[in-house]
Structure 1
Amino acid sequence: MYKGYLIDLDGTVYRGKEPIPAAKNFIEKLQEKGLPFLFLTNNTTKTPETVQKNLSENFDIHVPASTIFTAGNATVDYMNHQNKGRTVYVVGAPGLVELILASGFQWEETNPDYVVVGLDPGIDYEKMTIATLAVQKGAHFIGTNPDKNIPTERGLLPGAGSLVAFFETSTGVKPTIIGKPETAIMDSAIERLGLAKEEVLMVGDNYLTDIQAGIRNGVDTLLVLSGFTQKEEVPQLPTAPTYVLESLADWSIL
């Protein structure tokens, strides 16, 4: 039925360092059929090339870097479409900074056109100060994604959304959020696929991000019960996904 797929990574293709075998087979079937797909992730700490290498070396999934679409890629698309200038200050991991600067934006700390906030393990008070002052002066405030926490073996760690909330408090300015489940990342990803929304299926394990991204933006959804959202939660979900499966092994690619 579908001519293209948007596919989440963590919880759908793998769980941390653990592969999900059905996902590898699913991807290989898409490749055999020649169906376009993008891996759609809110993670901005790594470049698409780094994600590609991880998929190849650790999960035996071999795809070009062009199939990996991060909230960082969508942020660049958004800034290009806004066309409000080419200077930026980024609070984020090196992967996000590298991606944005490689896209032709220039680093500026005093009066940037944009302030982009993503997950930044190296955050310190000086970065907070520079970003806060820039937004107060009128820089367009962008949050790469709304994820307040990151699940790890240590527990739920602060996510990009937690940092975005800090800057919203310190500046009094509401940010533009790019990542799932927001419209910006979905519009950019579907544009890259070159398809209409009704021709695309959003596949993911997290109802709050992956599935809501589809529901809010008119894209059919497949919730796979291999990660975040559990089977017992499904009957209580406010809006049902288009499809719910235990495993991607149960999905037929036509």
Structure 2
Amino acid sequence: MHRTRKEVVIGAARGLARALVRFVRARWKPLLLLFFGVGLPLVAFGDLAEDVWSRGGIGWDEPILRYVHQHETPGRTAVMKFISAIGYAYGVVPLAILIGLGLLVVRRRGNALFWAVAMGGAGVLNQSAKLSFRRARPELWQSPAPEHTYSFPSGHAMGSMALVAALAVLAWPTRWRWWAIALGGVFTLLVGFSRVYLGVHFPSDVVAGWSASLAWVLGVSQVAYGRLVKPRPRATPAAAGPDPAPEPSAGT
């Protein structure tokens, strides 16, 4: 029996809907993780970026900065300057380099490739975004640790989040994953808060940095390992090839 064009279209739509339902039922867990791990952070970054681009800022930025500044003391300032220092140039950057080299030394070439792309890519994204948005630093008071580059998004926030997220990805199939998430999460929050306390970043700079970096690292993991996190201790990105076999010891 000859079907009309309308019936063909309806039949095709129903078939597509049934296939979509089967796909979601079979893969709802990784899809949900992808939504929360990559989708939501990207939405958050996009929303903040749109406000910065179109209106020059976010309404809650200045009130938060002024509230935090009201609680400034010399002792707190010293602590925040230290946290800020280790949150990038004197902590995150050298640690990222050491971890990358360490992965190569222990012959984990695939993990080293993931690490390099995750950390290096976050840095490139940060500089690209700063040059694109060209947002000026806050000027509500004289900062005890002034900065002279662009503000959006925060490089400290992106760097610390990239470090912690990449560590969590690699540690996921081990018992150390919760330590990486818990301690790393506290460290990332402290670094972000230190930048607001010191008056060198708007809160939206920090949140945008966290969001962009989390989405980037988990996206790289999805490409490298086929999961948002490393599925098995010996899993390695296909592009890197298999890790070299361990060299036999002198006594064997």
Larger relative contact order (C-alpha < 8 A, sep ≥ 6)? 2
The structure that is strand-richer by fraction is: 1
Which of structures 1 and 2 has the bigger CA Rg? 2
* Greater helix content: 2
Shorter-chain TM-score: which interval? under 0.3
